[in-house]
Protein backbone atom coordinates (compact mmCIF):
# COMPACT_ATOMS: atom_id res chain seq x y z
CA UNK A 1 0.00 0.00 0.00
CA UNK A 2 2.85 2.40 0.80
CA UNK A 3 4.30 1.93 -2.70
CA UNK A 4 0.90 2.58 -4.28
CA UNK A 5 0.47 5.85 -2.37
CA UNK A 6 3.95 7.30 -2.34
CA UNK A 7 5.74 5.68 -5.25
CA UNK A 8 9.17 4.05 -5.11
CA UNK A 9 12.78 4.50 -6.00
CA UNK A 10 13.92 1.97 -8.65
CA UNK A 11 15.43 -1.19 -7.15
CA UNK A 12 17.74 -3.49 -9.08
CA UNK A 13 16.71 -7.03 -8.21
CA UNK A 14 19.55 -9.33 -7.23
CA UNK A 15 22.15 -6.55 -7.27
CA UNK A 16 25.28 -7.52 -5.27
CA UNK A 17 25.87 -5.60 -2.05
CA UNK A 18 29.06 -3.80 -3.10
CA UNK A 19 27.69 -2.34 -6.37
CA UNK A 20 24.48 -1.38 -4.57
CA UNK A 21 26.49 0.26 -1.79
CA UNK A 22 28.62 2.20 -4.27
CA UNK A 23 25.57 3.33 -6.23
CA UNK A 24 23.71 4.60 -3.16
CA UNK A 25 26.45 5.93 -0.85
CA UNK A 26 27.34 9.62 -0.56
CA UNK A 27 30.55 9.48 -2.60
CA UNK A 28 31.24 13.18 -2.08
CA UNK A 29 31.37 12.78 1.71
CA UNK A 30 33.27 9.51 1.40
CA UNK A 31 35.94 11.11 -0.78
CA UNK A 32 36.28 14.03 1.63
CA UNK A 33 36.88 11.67 4.55
CA UNK A 34 39.57 9.79 2.60
CA UNK A 35 41.30 13.08 1.79
CA UNK A 36 41.16 14.14 5.45
CA UNK A 37 42.85 10.90 6.45
CA UNK A 38 45.54 11.44 3.81
CA UNK A 39 46.12 14.98 5.10
CA UNK A 40 46.37 13.57 8.63
CA UNK A 41 49.13 11.18 7.58
CA UNK A 42 50.96 14.00 5.79
CA UNK A 43 50.86 16.21 8.86
CA UNK A 44 51.75 13.28 11.10
CA UNK A 45 55.03 12.86 9.22
CA UNK A 46 56.02 16.29 10.51
CA UNK A 47 54.19 16.64 13.81
CA UNK A 48 54.95 13.29 15.46
CA UNK A 49 58.68 12.95 14.75
CA UNK A 50 59.81 15.20 17.65
CA UNK A 51 57.65 13.26 20.13
CA UNK A 52 59.01 9.93 18.85
CA UNK A 53 62.60 11.14 19.26
CA UNK A 54 61.82 12.45 22.74
CA UNK A 55 60.47 9.03 23.75
CA UNK A 56 63.38 7.17 22.14
CA UNK A 57 61.23 5.58 19.44
CA UNK A 58 61.54 5.18 15.71
CA UNK A 59 60.99 8.59 14.01
CA UNK A 60 57.87 7.36 12.22
CA UNK A 61 56.51 5.27 15.10
CA UNK A 62 53.40 7.41 15.60
CA UNK A 63 52.80 7.80 11.87
CA UNK A 64 52.86 4.03 11.46
CA UNK A 65 50.40 3.59 14.32
CA UNK A 66 48.18 6.28 12.84
CA UNK A 67 48.18 4.47 9.51
CA UNK A 68 47.13 1.26 11.26
CA UNK A 69 44.42 3.00 13.31
CA UNK A 70 43.22 4.85 10.23
CA UNK A 71 43.05 1.71 8.11
CA UNK A 72 40.96 0.00 10.79
CA UNK A 73 38.75 3.10 11.08
CA UNK A 74 38.15 3.29 7.33
CA UNK A 75 37.36 -0.43 7.15
CA UNK A 76 34.89 -0.05 10.03
CA UNK A 77 33.40 3.02 8.35
CA UNK A 78 32.76 1.15 5.10
CA UNK A 79 31.29 -1.88 6.88
CA UNK A 80 28.98 0.24 9.07
CA UNK A 81 27.90 2.29 6.04
CA UNK A 82 26.48 -0.88 4.49
CA UNK A 83 23.96 -1.26 7.33
CA UNK A 84 20.29 -0.37 7.11
CA UNK A 85 18.83 2.34 9.41
CA UNK A 86 17.34 -0.37 11.63
CA UNK A 87 20.74 -2.04 11.94
CA UNK A 88 22.37 1.33 12.67
CA UNK A 89 19.86 1.85 15.47
CA UNK A 90 20.62 -1.56 16.96
CA UNK A 91 24.36 -0.94 16.75
CA UNK A 92 23.89 2.44 18.40
CA UNK A 93 21.88 1.01 21.30
CA UNK A 94 24.37 -1.81 21.95
CA UNK A 95 27.33 0.55 21.60
CA UNK A 96 25.76 3.07 23.94
CA UNK A 97 25.20 0.46 26.67
CA UNK A 98 28.80 -0.72 26.42
CA UNK A 99 30.30 2.80 26.33
CA UNK A 100 28.04 4.00 29.16
CA UNK A 101 29.11 1.14 31.44
CA UNK A 102 32.76 1.82 30.57
CA UNK A 103 32.26 5.50 31.37
CA UNK A 104 30.87 4.65 34.81
CA UNK A 105 33.89 2.42 35.51
CA UNK A 106 36.43 5.12 34.67
CA UNK A 107 36.70 6.52 38.23
CA UNK A 108 37.72 3.04 39.42
CA UNK A 109 39.86 1.64 36.60
CA UNK A 110 40.67 4.71 34.49
CA UNK A 111 43.80 6.81 34.23
CA UNK A 112 44.54 10.45 33.43
CA UNK A 113 48.03 10.02 31.89
CA UNK A 114 49.09 13.03 33.95
CA UNK A 115 46.62 15.38 32.24
CA UNK A 116 44.35 15.93 35.24
CA UNK A 117 41.25 14.26 33.77
CA UNK A 118 40.43 10.55 34.09
CA UNK A 119 39.27 9.74 30.56
CA UNK A 120 41.15 6.60 29.48
CA UNK A 121 41.53 2.90 30.16
CA UNK A 122 45.18 1.98 29.77
CA UNK A 123 46.08 -1.52 28.53
CA UNK A 124 49.81 -0.93 28.25
CA UNK A 125 50.07 -1.36 24.48
CA UNK A 126 47.08 0.92 23.84
CA UNK A 127 44.47 3.07 25.58
CA UNK A 128 40.73 3.51 25.06
CA UNK A 129 38.64 6.63 25.65
CA UNK A 130 34.99 5.54 26.14
CA UNK A 131 33.54 9.02 25.58
CA UNK A 132 34.68 8.94 21.94
CA UNK A 133 32.52 5.88 21.28
CA UNK A 134 29.68 7.16 23.43
CA UNK A 135 29.05 10.25 21.25
CA UNK A 136 27.79 8.64 18.02
CA UNK A 137 25.88 5.96 19.94
CA UNK A 138 24.19 8.60 22.09
CA UNK A 139 23.09 10.47 18.97
CA UNK A 140 21.52 7.31 17.54
CA UNK A 141 19.66 6.33 20.71
CA UNK A 142 18.46 9.90 21.33
CA UNK A 143 17.20 10.12 17.73
CA UNK A 144 15.38 6.82 18.18
CA UNK A 145 13.62 8.11 21.31
CA UNK A 146 12.65 11.40 19.64
CA UNK A 147 11.38 9.61 16.55
CA UNK A 148 9.29 7.25 18.69
CA UNK A 149 7.63 10.28 20.30
CA UNK A 150 6.19 11.22 16.90
CA UNK A 151 4.20 7.98 16.63
CA UNK A 152 0.56 7.97 17.67
CA UNK A 153 0.47 6.80 21.26
CA UNK A 154 4.25 6.78 21.36
CA UNK A 155 6.34 7.26 24.52
CA UNK A 156 7.51 10.69 25.74
CA UNK A 157 10.76 10.14 23.86
CA UNK A 158 11.88 13.75 23.87
CA UNK A 159 11.77 13.87 27.65
CA UNK A 160 13.55 10.52 27.94
CA UNK A 161 16.25 11.70 25.54
CA UNK A 162 16.69 14.87 27.61
CA UNK A 163 17.11 12.86 30.83
CA UNK A 164 19.63 10.63 29.06
CA UNK A 165 21.54 13.67 27.79
CA UNK A 166 21.70 15.17 31.28
CA UNK A 167 23.02 11.91 32.76
CA UNK A 168 25.71 11.60 30.07
CA UNK A 169 26.74 15.24 30.40
CA UNK A 170 27.07 14.90 34.18
CA UNK A 171 29.21 11.78 33.85
CA UNK A 172 31.49 13.53 31.37
CA UNK A 173 31.70 16.66 33.52
CA UNK A 174 32.85 14.59 36.50
CA UNK A 175 35.98 13.39 34.63
CA UNK A 176 36.18 16.42 33.96
CA UNK A 177 35.63 16.53 30.18
CA UNK A 178 33.59 19.65 29.46
CA UNK A 179 34.47 19.59 25.77
CA UNK A 180 32.85 16.22 25.13
CA UNK A 181 29.96 17.16 27.43
CA UNK A 182 29.34 20.30 25.37
CA UNK A 183 29.44 18.29 22.16
CA UNK A 184 26.91 15.78 23.45
CA UNK A 185 24.60 18.58 24.59
CA UNK A 186 24.98 20.37 21.24
CA UNK A 187 24.15 17.27 19.20
CA UNK A 188 21.08 16.66 21.36
CA UNK A 189 20.01 20.29 20.86
CA UNK A 190 20.36 19.97 17.08
CA UNK A 191 18.17 16.87 17.00
CA UNK A 192 15.64 18.45 19.35
CA UNK A 193 15.46 21.47 17.04
CA UNK A 194 15.01 19.27 13.95
CA UNK A 195 12.30 17.34 15.81
CA UNK A 196 10.31 20.57 16.14
CA UNK A 197 11.15 21.91 19.59
CA UNK A 198 9.63 25.32 20.43
CA UNK A 199 12.07 28.22 20.24
CA UNK A 200 11.17 29.30 23.79
CA UNK A 201 12.16 25.90 25.13
CA UNK A 202 15.48 26.02 23.25
CA UNK A 203 16.13 29.46 24.72
CA UNK A 204 15.43 28.11 28.20
CA UNK A 205 17.83 25.22 27.61
CA UNK A 206 20.50 27.64 26.41
CA UNK A 207 20.06 29.62 29.63
CA UNK A 208 20.41 26.44 31.69
CA UNK A 209 23.59 25.62 29.79
CA UNK A 210 25.05 29.03 30.62
CA UNK A 211 24.09 28.53 34.27
CA UNK A 212 25.79 25.14 34.21
CA UNK A 213 28.92 26.75 32.78
CA UNK A 214 28.96 29.32 35.59
CA UNK A 215 28.58 26.56 38.16
CA UNK A 216 31.43 24.59 36.58
CA UNK A 217 33.60 27.71 36.60
CA UNK A 218 33.10 28.13 40.35
CA UNK A 219 33.30 24.43 41.20
CA UNK A 220 36.16 23.19 38.99
CA UNK A 221 39.66 24.62 39.20
CA UNK A 222 40.53 22.83 35.95
CA UNK A 223 37.65 24.51 34.10
CA UNK A 224 38.26 27.92 35.67
CA UNK A 225 41.95 27.86 34.75
CA UNK A 226 41.15 27.27 31.08
CA UNK A 227 38.48 29.98 31.00
CA UNK A 228 40.80 32.49 32.71
CA UNK A 229 43.54 31.70 30.22
CA UNK A 230 41.11 32.21 27.35
CA UNK A 231 39.82 35.55 28.69
CA UNK A 232 43.26 36.92 29.51
CA UNK A 233 44.14 39.83 27.17
CA UNK A 234 47.73 38.64 26.97
CA UNK A 235 48.96 35.28 25.70
CA UNK A 236 51.80 33.59 27.53
CA UNK A 237 54.17 32.60 24.69
CA UNK A 238 55.29 29.55 26.66
CA UNK A 239 51.84 27.96 26.75
CA UNK A 240 50.38 25.66 24.09
CA UNK A 241 48.04 28.41 22.91
CA UNK A 242 50.99 30.81 22.71
CA UNK A 243 53.05 28.41 20.61
CA UNK A 244 50.07 27.61 18.35
CA UNK A 245 49.17 31.27 17.82
CA UNK A 246 52.74 32.15 16.90
CA UNK A 247 52.97 29.21 14.49
CA UNK A 248 49.78 30.24 12.69
CA UNK A 249 51.05 33.81 12.35
CA UNK A 250 54.42 32.62 11.03
CA UNK A 251 52.83 30.36 8.42
CA UNK A 252 51.15 33.13 6.48
CA UNK A 253 49.47 32.22 3.20
CA UNK A 254 51.83 29.54 1.82
CA UNK A 255 53.67 28.41 4.97
CA UNK A 256 57.36 28.31 5.87
CA UNK A 257 57.94 25.11 3.94
CA UNK A 258 57.62 21.36 4.41
CA UNK A 259 59.61 20.23 7.45
CA UNK A 260 60.73 23.79 8.26
CA UNK A 261 58.23 24.43 11.05
CA UNK A 262 59.38 24.76 14.66
CA UNK A 263 56.13 24.56 16.64
CA UNK A 264 56.18 20.74 16.57
CA UNK A 265 59.31 20.84 18.75
CA UNK A 266 57.60 22.99 21.39
CA UNK A 267 54.03 21.68 21.53
CA UNK A 268 53.60 18.37 23.41
CA UNK A 269 50.22 17.88 21.68
CA UNK A 270 51.30 19.00 18.21
CA UNK A 271 50.26 15.65 16.71
CA UNK A 272 46.83 15.62 18.42
CA UNK A 273 44.97 18.67 19.71
CA UNK A 274 47.10 21.29 17.92
CA UNK A 275 47.88 19.60 14.63
CA UNK A 276 46.16 22.43 12.75
CA UNK A 277 48.96 24.73 14.02
CA UNK A 278 51.51 22.47 12.29
CA UNK A 279 49.45 22.62 9.10
CA UNK A 280 49.22 26.42 9.27
CA UNK A 281 52.93 26.90 9.94
CA UNK A 282 54.37 24.53 7.34
CA UNK A 283 51.71 24.69 4.61
CA UNK A 284 50.03 28.00 5.34
CA UNK A 285 46.47 29.19 4.97
CA UNK A 286 46.07 27.21 1.74
CA UNK A 287 46.08 23.83 3.49
CA UNK A 288 43.98 25.12 6.39
CA UNK A 289 41.28 26.29 3.97
CA UNK A 290 41.40 22.94 2.21
CA UNK A 291 40.88 21.13 5.52
CA UNK A 292 37.96 23.41 6.40
CA UNK A 293 36.44 22.82 2.95
CA UNK A 294 36.68 19.04 3.38
CA UNK A 295 34.88 19.13 6.74
CA UNK A 296 32.25 21.48 5.32
CA UNK A 297 31.70 19.20 2.32
CA UNK A 298 31.00 16.20 4.58
CA UNK A 299 28.50 18.14 6.70
CA UNK A 300 26.73 20.01 3.90
CA UNK A 301 26.55 17.02 1.56
CA UNK A 302 25.06 14.88 4.33
CA UNK A 303 22.51 17.52 5.36
CA UNK A 304 21.50 18.05 1.73
CA UNK A 305 20.74 14.36 1.31
CA UNK A 306 18.87 14.29 4.63
CA UNK A 307 16.59 17.10 3.43
CA UNK A 308 15.05 14.60 1.01
CA UNK A 309 14.65 11.89 3.66
CA UNK A 310 11.22 11.34 5.19
CA UNK A 311 11.96 8.78 7.92
CA UNK A 312 12.08 10.69 11.27
CA UNK A 313 14.78 8.53 12.84
CA UNK A 314 17.04 8.81 9.80
CA UNK A 315 16.65 12.60 9.63
CA UNK A 316 17.29 13.13 13.33
CA UNK A 317 20.22 10.74 13.71
CA UNK A 318 21.83 11.90 10.48
CA UNK A 319 21.55 15.58 11.42
CA UNK A 320 22.98 14.90 14.89
CA UNK A 321 25.94 12.91 13.54
CA UNK A 322 26.74 15.40 10.78
CA UNK A 323 26.60 18.44 13.06
CA UNK A 324 28.59 16.75 15.84
CA UNK A 325 31.30 15.86 13.32
CA UNK A 326 31.49 19.40 11.97
CA UNK A 327 31.35 21.10 15.37
CA UNK A 328 34.12 18.90 16.78
CA UNK A 329 36.38 20.05 13.93
CA UNK A 330 35.26 23.64 14.50
CA UNK A 331 36.07 23.43 18.22
CA UNK A 332 39.52 21.99 17.59
CA UNK A 333 40.45 24.69 15.10
CA UNK A 334 38.76 27.41 17.16
CA UNK A 335 40.94 26.52 20.16
CA UNK A 336 44.10 26.74 18.05
CA UNK A 337 43.30 30.29 16.91
CA UNK A 338 42.05 31.27 20.40
CA UNK A 339 38.42 31.74 19.43
CA UNK A 340 37.45 29.15 22.04
CA UNK A 341 38.92 28.03 25.39
CA UNK A 342 41.12 24.94 25.38
CA UNK A 343 39.01 21.77 25.18
CA UNK A 344 41.42 18.88 24.56
CA UNK A 345 39.47 17.73 21.51
CA UNK A 346 40.99 16.04 18.46
CA UNK A 347 40.54 16.95 14.80
CA UNK A 348 38.56 14.02 13.31
CA UNK A 349 40.60 11.78 10.97
CA UNK A 350 43.54 14.22 11.07
CA UNK A 351 44.80 14.15 14.66
CA UNK A 352 46.72 11.15 15.99
CA UNK A 353 44.78 8.78 18.21
CA UNK A 354 43.34 5.30 18.27
CA UNK A 355 40.01 5.83 20.02
CA UNK A 356 39.25 9.11 18.27
CA UNK A 357 40.01 7.83 14.77
CA UNK A 358 38.14 4.54 15.14
CA UNK A 359 35.18 6.25 16.84
CA UNK A 360 35.11 8.78 14.00
CA UNK A 361 35.04 5.86 11.57
CA UNK A 362 32.01 4.42 13.35
CA UNK A 363 30.26 7.82 13.41
CA UNK A 364 30.90 8.50 9.72
CA UNK A 365 29.91 4.95 8.85
CA UNK A 366 26.58 5.52 10.58
CA UNK A 367 26.15 8.84 8.78
CA UNK A 368 26.94 7.31 5.38
CA UNK A 369 24.52 4.47 6.09
CA UNK A 370 21.73 6.90 6.97
CA UNK A 371 22.32 9.14 3.94
CA UNK A 372 22.38 6.34 1.37
CA UNK A 373 19.72 6.56 -1.32
CA UNK A 374 17.12 3.85 -0.69
CA UNK A 375 13.56 2.94 -1.70
CA UNK A 376 10.91 4.98 0.11
CA UNK A 377 13.68 7.07 1.63
CA UNK A 378 13.13 10.47 -0.02
CA UNK A 379 10.34 12.98 0.42
CA UNK A 380 10.76 13.92 -3.24
CA UNK A 381 8.83 10.76 -4.08
CA UNK A 382 5.82 12.12 -2.23
CA UNK A 383 6.03 15.53 -3.90
CA UNK A 384 6.45 14.02 -7.36
CA UNK A 385 3.46 11.76 -6.81
CA UNK A 386 1.26 14.58 -5.57
CA UNK A 387 2.20 16.76 -8.54
CA UNK A 388 0.84 14.30 -11.04
| Residue 103 confidence (pLDDT) above 80 | yes
Nearest-angstrom CA–CA distance, 275 and 269:
8
Can you give the pLDDT at residue 324? 95
Report DSSP state, residue 238.
T
Task: Report whether 303 contacts 314 (CB < 8 A).
Answer: no
CA-based nearest residue to 41, from 278, 281, 299: 278
Which phi and psi angles does 338 have, rounded to 5°? Answer: 65, 30
Bridge partners of 120, per DSSP, are: 111
Stretch 147-164: mean pLDDT: 88
What residues contact 81, with CB distance under 8 A and at least 6 apart?
A: 21, 25, 30, 364, 365, 366, 368, 369, 372
Nearest-angstrom CA–CA distance, 51 and 167:
37
pLDDT digits (tens, 9 = 90+) for 258-301: 777 777 777 777 777 888 888 888 898 999 999 999 999 999 99
Can you give the pLDDT at residue 106? 87
Q: How confident is the model at residue 222 (pLDDT cuts 50, 70, 90)?
A: low
Bridge partners of 209, per DSSP, are: none
Amino acid sequence: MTEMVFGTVPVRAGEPILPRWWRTVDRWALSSVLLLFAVGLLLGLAASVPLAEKNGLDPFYYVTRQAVFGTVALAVMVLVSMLSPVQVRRLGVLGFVGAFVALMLLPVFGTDFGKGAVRWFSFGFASVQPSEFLKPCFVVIAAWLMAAAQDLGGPPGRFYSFVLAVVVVLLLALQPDFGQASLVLFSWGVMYFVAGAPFLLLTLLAGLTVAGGLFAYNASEHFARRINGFLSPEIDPRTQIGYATNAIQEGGFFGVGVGEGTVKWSLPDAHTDFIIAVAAEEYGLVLVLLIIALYASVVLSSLWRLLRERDPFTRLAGAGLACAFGVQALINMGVAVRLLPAKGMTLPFVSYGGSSVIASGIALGMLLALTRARPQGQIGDILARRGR
